Amino acid sequence: MKEQKLTSASASGRGGKREGAGRPKGSTKENTKKFCKLAKDEFFYFDIIGLEIYENSQILGVVSDIVETGANYLFEVSTSQNLTQNGLPKTFFVPYIDNFVEKISLDEAKIYTKNAKAILENS
């Protein structure tokens, strides 16, 4: 299994790094990305929150938060309104591991999943 990582560096410059030494005060997301280089398959929290969760071309919801469990991360998902109208829970969690997350596309603002709908239906 490939290692999956998220970085909680703050877009406001409060991610634990001192301002100064070339860091503009009042940092933006763009400056955070500039000064905090990530490896392949690493993402900032602020890039993940707000992405749509898709499975088999169906939108399941939108990532509203990220929970660190120690062993991995959980994406807290606000369930799509059309699914909650059918009696499914308003929120559910998708583990950020290969068994559930197939691909994260920042360009499309989507996370492609497998087996996440089963989690939703059994929540």
Indicate the domain borders of the chain: 5-46, 49-121
Query: Distance between CA atoms of 46 and 7, rounded to whole angstroms?
Result: 9
Please tell me the predicted confidence (pLDDT) of residue 78: 98
**Residue-averaged pLDDT of the chain:** 82
Looking at residue 19, its pLDDT comes to 40
Q: Which residue has the higher pLDDT, 51 or 34?
A: 51
Out of 6-15, 35-44, 87-96, the most confident range is 87-96
Is 93 in contact with 61 (CB distance < 8 Å)?
no
Q: Does position 14 have pLDDT exceeding 80, yes or no?
A: no
d(CA 64, CA 45): 10
Per CATH, domain 49-121 is 2.60.120.10: no
Q: Tell which residue, 8, 79, 18, has the closest CA to residue 46.
A: 8
Q: What 8-state DSSP symbol labels residue 58?
A: E
